């Protein structure tokens, strides 16, 4: 060895070091780039009689600065951040919608009930009747608008899922390709390839949570969900979206293996796609169900009360709103069949249900709280639903999805177009007996209130019911009313407590007038013997507002969720749930973003390029390079000296 | 050794500026809308509470409308019955004149003529219509004229016994009209039976026309006046109830609006000082970014 070769070794090594530093500087802004560092080591020395003489330097390795542990932490943080981000993006759209002053449901519901109060104020005025129909129409429009928003959101969600699946497939294929290159060229030189692959895995983590296992040959095996392989060495599996067997608008995600597709919707977590799926199950569907419940409740309650009154023509009120039916989705391969109808809308929970035949029993699962119960073949009444099971041909695995309120906001329609059809009046009237000219016949001071009815059974009355005071018997004989023993009501005209007013039917015989519209009334005062009250059909009640008042009062009635909530309560709960979930996502997102930023900084601490550092290295290596050139120059001088010494 | 990458340094600077801009823009939106809660996520419980408060406020405002309506109807009823109360003493005065021995049959005939006039006036009052054209003393049958006089001395009531109520609070309804039967037909008489006011006045008329004035009508007239006063008292009580409730509702509305404002409105002073603070923070971030990015070893090479 010679000084020349030592100088050359140093020139080569520092040239490499300068190249690497230049490469680092060039990639200062490249995503996923890991800085590289040159390791210098002294070359093997040569033994001489005087001992070892050094042989210069070599750039023994170009090291990639990378920390596998932090990298996997960063991928986890990335997957969670993207999940929260996509969840939050969708949820905040709903959040904006539900409490909007102009577009929210609450003002529409409120305006509708205020219009009913106006109707009660002025039942004979066409203008106040028109107002009710106008507000009812805009309430129905608002429900449709909400339904449309939900469906739009679902379409966007489906598009986004499809897009994500395509991207996942592309990334998986790209990773498999890089795997192949790395296995072929594994070693120090693959640093930039490794960076490329890690960057692809990071991008994949933005879409879905992945687990990475590095193989001994350097390939990455990548798994999603609960260990479903996505990339194995050079092979990438393909994800696909499948329309659900039960619901054509519900997308499922499958991995297509050689033996066929495997459904992984339930297993997939994290990333954008995980956020979308979580939003769909946790926010979109429950919100849609709640809004549907409000629509059903309003339609059902208003219809029922309208049917207890009579309209401007004296005709029994008809349904104001059309309500849809229970959405029942059978698996096409089912052997058995079911029908589901509403039994009592006030008992509905707003949950979806799945009914599965396990070969022995039909098991109903509440998809909201996960509770299950076994149903009998035939009619079952569960949570306000009548579920009738026809087990003929049942095969284990038969499967039905039951969504009682999902489509209700879409199905509600206003049925009444004629303002005269609003049943503002009650069907019965009570009056003290008069002669043909309206002159009083009763001598006593007793009075009767206008009767209320709880049904239309036996109405209109075939003949006026007469209550004739029978002083000797201590009560009223009932003529044309219920038969014995119900043809008498006791009334003690000497008892001050009774004179102050007695409500009929008495609590001891609550069914006394069930065959006569379930009517009820109050008598007070002191009647004279023979004094008569007449209860007859209300034939002239244009200005009667009794039923309008009852319609308006439904606003404050706790008619939903088993008598625990008003329409507005259910809506308010829904708003606060959407708000809370959005709020929670926003908070978590902020926390997760800072965690991600910390792991990214941790990553950069190891792998990131620092220009000042590289500048310093540039100077360091440049000076070493210059010094090495001097070695060659000295070698040349030495050589010249020697040559001139021997030249004679 | 801890180190930081150059890209990270830029990113940090950019992120801190973005974050501060976001806060600033949110505060700006709060200030321009005057609302603390821009959407339910800002305060889920508060948003639901605000929604229910708005519902209650709108409902109570409707009750106030209802109360105004009921009050104007009762005011009309009161004004009408006040005129009846003015007429009845005149009937009584004429009756007393008619009873006087100094009056001749012809005088009594003249008195009877005036009384006929007054009875017509009473009937016109009983057929009073409101601004919507509804007969106010016809019960539910308010589109049909309630009182008619098809033949001399025959007075009929064609309305029904309906009495109507309006809701003026969540727990209170108030009657906004009486039926004509209760007001004019079902009037006590000295004999203990009931008779219409028009029949009583007509009885006086026929007795005067027959030149045989019947003093028992004086007592009937007194009872009719008592009856009319009691009906007016009911209406007056209704008006008092409404006025009382309107005040209660107003207080309630004020409380609810204050609560709503506390729930969803912005504390302007706090928001503006927050805005200033965030603005300063953004400026600081911009300045430090500017200073840090100009520091580079390459400047000295």
Cβ count near A494 (within 10 Å): 8
Please, which residues have CB within 8 angstroms of residue A254's CB and are 6 or more apart in sequence?
A: A239, A240, A241, A242, A261, A262, A263, A264, A265
H, E, C per residue of A377-416: CEEEEECCEEEEEECCCCCCCCEEEEECCCCHHHHCEECC
d(CA A159, CA A246): 19
pLDDT exceeding 70 applies to what percent of chain A? Answer: 99
> Is A429 in the B-facing interface, judged by CB distances under 8 Å?
yes
8 A C-beta contact, residue B7 and residue A609: yes
Number of H helices, E strands in chain B: 7, 6
8 A C-beta contact, residue B177 and residue B80: no
Q: Do B186 and A438 touch (CB under 8 A)?
A: no
> Is A67 in the B-facing interface, judged by CB distances under 8 Å?
no
8 A C-beta contact, residue A560 and residue B159: no
pLDDT at A648: 63
- B8-12 mean pLDDT: 86
Instruction: Name the residue with higher pLDDT: A187 or B112.
Output: B112
pLDDT of B301 above 80? no
DSSP for residue A522: E
**Spatial CA neighbour of A291 closest among A94, A97, A571, A557:** A571
Confidence of residue B6 (pLDDT cuts 50, 70, 90): confident
**Tokens coding B30:** 């709060």
Element spanning A56, H or E: none
Number of H helices, E strands in chain A: 12, 29
- A208-226 mean pLDDT: 92
**Spatial CA neighbour of A128 closest among B180, B134, B139, B77:** B134
Closest chain B residue to A127, measured at CA? B132
The angle, 0 to 180 degrees and rounded to 10, between the axes of the packed helices A191-207 and A68-98 is 30
Q: Do B5 and A576 touch (CB under 8 A)?
A: no
- Nearest CB neighbour to B5, from listed A106, A608, A619: A608
Identify the bridge partners of residue A232 per DSSP, sorted by sequence position. Answer: A235
Range 169-208 of B in CB contact (< 8 A) with A: 170, 173, 181, 185-186, 192-196, 199
Measure in Å the smallest separation between the Cα of B103 and chain A Cα atoms.
33
- Nearest CB neighbour to A92, from listed B41, B194, B296: B41
8 A C-beta contact, residue A370 and residue A322: no
Range 227-286 of B in CB contact (< 8 A) with A: none
8 A C-beta contact, residue A280 and residue A156: no
Within 13 A of A343's CA, how many CA atoms are on the CB side?
A: 16
Average pLDDT, chain A: 93
Q: What is the DSSP string of A218-240?
A: SPEEEEETTTEEEEETTEE-EEE
pLDDT in tens, A471-517: 999 999 999 999 888 999 999 999 999 999 999 999 999 999 999 99
Q: Do A114 and B58 touch (CB under 8 A)?
A: yes
Range 127-146 of B in CB contact (< 8 A) with A: 132, 134, 138-144
Pairing of β B194-195 and β B187-188 = antiparallel
Q: Which residues of A touch B15 (CB under 8 A)?
A: 597
Range 619-648 of A in CB contact (< 8 A) with B: 619
pLDDT of A101 above 80? no
d(CA A253, CA A243): 9
Per-range mean pLDDT, top range of A94-98, B162-166, B248-252: B248-252
**Tokens coding B15:** 């992120």
**Spatial CA neighbour of A394 closest among A359, A348, A344, A352:** A359
Specify the residue for token string 């009756």.
B95
pLDDT exceeding 70 applies to what percent of chain B? Answer: 100
Helix (H, G, I), strand (E, B) or coil at B101: coil
> Which residue in B11, B51, B226 has the most chain A C-beta atoms within 10 A of its own C-beta, making it the best mutation to test that interface?
B51
8 A C-beta contact, residue A246 and residue A192: no
pLDDT at A188: 44
- Nearest CB neighbour to A114, from listed B62, B157, B162: B62
8 A C-beta contact, residue A387 and residue A322: no
pTM of the model: 0.88
Q: Which residues of A touch B8 (CB under 8 A)?
A: 600-601, 604, 608
**Tokens coding A4:** 């020349």
Helix (H, G, I), strand (E, B) or coil at A152: helix
**Spatial CA neighbour of A288 closest among A324, A242, A335:** A324
d(CA A509, CA A513): 9
Confidence of residue A539 (pLDDT cuts 50, 70, 90): confident
d(CA A323, CA A347): 16
Element spanning A468, H or E: strand A465-470
Cβ count near A180 (within 10 Å): 14
8 A C-beta contact, residue A106 and residue B51: yes
**Tokens coding B8:** 């990270």
Within 13 A of A473's CA, how many CA atoms are on the CB side?
A: 12
> Is B163 in the A-facing interface, judged by CB distances under 8 Å?
yes
DSSP for residue B214: -
**Spatial CA neighbour of A232 closest among A179, A292, A171:** A179
A38-42, A644-648, B70-74: which range is least confident on average? A644-648
**C-alpha distance across the termini of chain B, in Å:** 25
Cβ count near A145 (within 10 Å): 16
pLDDT at A186: 57
Measure in Å the smallest separation between the Cα of B143 and chain A Cα atoms.
7
Q: What is the DSSP string of A82-130?
A: HHHHHHHHHHHHHHHHHT-TTTSHHHHHHHHHHHHHHHHH-TT-HHHHH
Helix (H, G, I), strand (E, B) or coil at B265: strand
Sheet bearing A488-490, strands edge to edge: A428-432, A532-537, A465-470, A475-479, A488-490
Specify the residue for token string 């490499």.
A16
Q: Do B51 and A607 touch (CB under 8 A)?
A: no
Q: How many CB pairs under 8 A join A and B?
A: 223
**Tokens coding A638:** 């030495």
Measure in Å the smallest separation between the Cα of A493 and chain B Cα atoms.
18
At residue A511, what are phi and psi to the nearest 5 degrees?
-95, 10
pLDDT in tens, A103-155: 789 999 999 999 999 999 999 999 999 999 999 999 999 999 999 999 999 99
d(CA B29, CA B22): 11
DSSP for residue B184: I
- Nearest CB neighbour to A120, from listed B142, B166, B199: B166
> Is A216 in the B-facing interface, judged by CB distances under 8 Å?
no
8 A C-beta contact, residue B242 and residue B71: yes
Q: Which residues of B touch A610 (CB under 8 A)?
A: 3-6
DSSP for residue A315: P
| A549-to-A314, A407, A552, B172 alpha-carbon distances in Å | 17, 30, 5, 12
Please, which residues have CB within 8 angstroms of residue A518's CB and are 6 or more apart in sequence?
A: A453, A454, A455, A457
pLDDT at B282: 93
DSSP for residue A44: P
**C-alpha distance across the termini of chain A, in Å:** 28
> Which residue in B23, B61, B137, B140 has the most chain A C-beta atoms within 10 A of its own C-beta, making it the best mutation to test that interface?
B140
Query: Rounded to the nearest 5 degrees, what angle is found at the Cα of B108, between the Cα atoms of B107 and B112?
Result: 120
pLDDT at A412: 96
pLDDT in tens, B59-81: 999 999 999 999 999 999 999 99
8 A C-beta contact, residue A268 and residue A274: yes
Confidence of residue A3 (pLDDT cuts 50, 70, 90): confident
Range 19-58 of B in CB contact (< 8 A) with A: 39-45, 47-48, 51-52, 54-55, 58
């Amino acid at each position: 060895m010679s000084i020349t070769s030592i100088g050359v070794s140093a020139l080569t090594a520092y040239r490499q070091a300068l190249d690497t530093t230049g490469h680092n500087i060039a990639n200062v802004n490249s995503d996923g780039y890991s800085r590289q560092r040159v390791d210098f080591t002294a070359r093997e020395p040569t033994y001489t009689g005087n001992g070892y003489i050094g042989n210069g330097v070599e750039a023994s390795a170009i090291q990639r600065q990378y920390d596998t542990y932090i990298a996997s932490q960063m991928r986890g943080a990335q997957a969670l951040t993207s999940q929260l981000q996509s969840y939050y993006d969708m949820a905040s759209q709903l959040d904006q919608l539900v409490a909007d002053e102009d577009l929210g449901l609450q003002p529409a519901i409120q305006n509708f009930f205020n219009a009913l109060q106006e109707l009660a104020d002025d039942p004979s005025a066409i203008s106040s009747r028109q107002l009710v129909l106008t507000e009812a129409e805009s309430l129905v429009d608002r429900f449709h608008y909400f339904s449309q928003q939900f469906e739009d959101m679902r379409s966007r969600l489906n598009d986004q899922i499809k897009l994500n699946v395509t991207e996942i497939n592309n990334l998986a294929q790209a990773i498999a390709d890089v795997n192949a290159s790395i296995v072929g060229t594994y070693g120090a030189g693959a640093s930039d390839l490794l960076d490329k692959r890690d960057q692809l895995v990071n991008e994949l983590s933005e879409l879905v949570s992945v687990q990475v296992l590095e193989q001994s040959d350097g390939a990455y095996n990548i798994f999603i969900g609960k260990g479903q392989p996505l990339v194995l060495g050079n092979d990438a599996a393909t994800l696909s979206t499948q329309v659900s067997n039960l619901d054509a608008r519900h997308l499922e995600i499958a991995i297509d293996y050689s033996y066929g597709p495997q459904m992984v919707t339930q297993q997939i977590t994290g990333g954008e796609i995980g956020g979308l799926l979580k939003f769909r199950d946790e926010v979109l569907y429950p919100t849609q169900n709640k809004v549907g419940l409000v629509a059903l409740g309003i339609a059902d309650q208003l219809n029922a009360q309208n049917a207890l009154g009579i309209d401007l023509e004296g005709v029994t009120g008809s349904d104001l709103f059309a309500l849809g039916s229970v959405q029942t989705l059978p698996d096409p391969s089912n052997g058995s069949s079911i029908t589901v109808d509403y039994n009592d809308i006030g008992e509905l929970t707003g949950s979806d249900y799945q009914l599965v035949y396990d070969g022995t029993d039909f098991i109903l699962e509440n998809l909201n709280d996960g509770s299950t119960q076994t149903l009998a073949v035939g009619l079952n009444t569960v949570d306000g639903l009548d579920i009738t099971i026809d087990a003929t041909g049942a095969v284990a695995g038969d499967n039905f999805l039951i969504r009682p309120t999902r489509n209700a906001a879409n199905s509600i329609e206003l049925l009444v177009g004629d303002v005269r059809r609003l049943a503002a009046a009650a069907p019965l009237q009570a009056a003290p007996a008069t002669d043909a000219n309206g002159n009083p016949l009763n001598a006593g001071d007793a009075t009767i209130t206008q009767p209320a009815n709880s049904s239309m059974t036996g109405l209109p009355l075939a003949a006026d019911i007469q209550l004739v005071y029978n002083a000797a018997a201590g009560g009223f004989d009932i003529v044309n009313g219920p038969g014995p023993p119900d043809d008498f009501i006791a009334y003690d005209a000497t008892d001050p407590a009774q004179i102050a007013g007695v409500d009929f039917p008495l609590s001891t015989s609550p069914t006394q007038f069930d065959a006569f519209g379930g009517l009820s009334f109050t008598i007070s005062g002191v009647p004279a013997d023979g004094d008569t009250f007449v209860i007859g059909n209300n034939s002239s009640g244009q200005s009667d507002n009794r039923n309008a008042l009852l319609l308006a009062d439904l606003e404050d009635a706790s008619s939903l969720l088993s008598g625990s909530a008003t329409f507005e309560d259910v809506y308010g709960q829904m708003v606060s749930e959407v708000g809370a979930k959005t709020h929670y996502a926003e908070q978590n997102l902020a926390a997760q973003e800072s965690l991600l930023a910390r792991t990214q900084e941790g990553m950069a601490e190891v792998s990131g390029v620092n220009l000042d550092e590289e500048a310093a290295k540039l100077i360091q290596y440049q000076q070493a390079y210059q010094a090495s050139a001097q070695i060659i120059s000295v070698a040349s001088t030495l050589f010249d000296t020697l040559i001139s010494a021997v030249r004679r | 050794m801890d180190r930081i990458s150059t890209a990270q340094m830029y990113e940090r600077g950019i992120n801190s500026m973005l974050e501060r801009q976001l806060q600033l823009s949110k505060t700006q939106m709060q200030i321009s809308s005057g609302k603390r809660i821009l959407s339910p996520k800002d305060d889920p419980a508060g948003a639901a509470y605000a929604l229910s408060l708005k519902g209650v406020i709108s409902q109570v405002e409707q009750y106030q409308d209802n109360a105004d309506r009921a009050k104007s109807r009762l005011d009309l009823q009161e004004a009408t019955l006040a005129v009846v109360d003015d007429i009845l003493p005149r009937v009584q005065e004429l009756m007393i004149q008619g009873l006087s021995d100094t009056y001749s049959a012809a005088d009594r005939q003249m008195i009877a003529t005036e009384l006929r006039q007054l009875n017509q006036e009473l009937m016109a009052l009983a057929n009073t219509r409101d601004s919507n054209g509804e007969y106010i003393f016809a019960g539910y049958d308010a589109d049909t004229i309630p009182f008619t006089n098809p033949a001399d001395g025959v007075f009929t009531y064609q309305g029904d016994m309906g009495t109507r109520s309006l809701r003026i609070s969540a727990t209170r309804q108030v009657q906004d009209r009486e039926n004509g039967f209760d007001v004019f037909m079902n009037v006590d008489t000295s004999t203990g039976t009931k008779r219409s006011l028009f029949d009583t006045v007509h009885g006086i008329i026929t007795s005067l026309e027959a030149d045989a004035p019947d003093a028992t009508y004086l007592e009937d007239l007194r009872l009719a006046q008592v009856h009319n006063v009691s009906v007016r008292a009911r209406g007056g009580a209704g008006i008092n109830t409404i006025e009382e409730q309107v005040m209660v509702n107003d207080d309630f509305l004020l409380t609810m609006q204050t609560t709503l404002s506390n729930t969803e409105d912005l504390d302007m002073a706090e928001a503006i000082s927050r805005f200033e603070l965030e603005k300063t923070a953004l400026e600081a971030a911009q300045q430090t970014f500017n200073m840090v990015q100009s520091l580079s070893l390459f400047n000295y090479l």
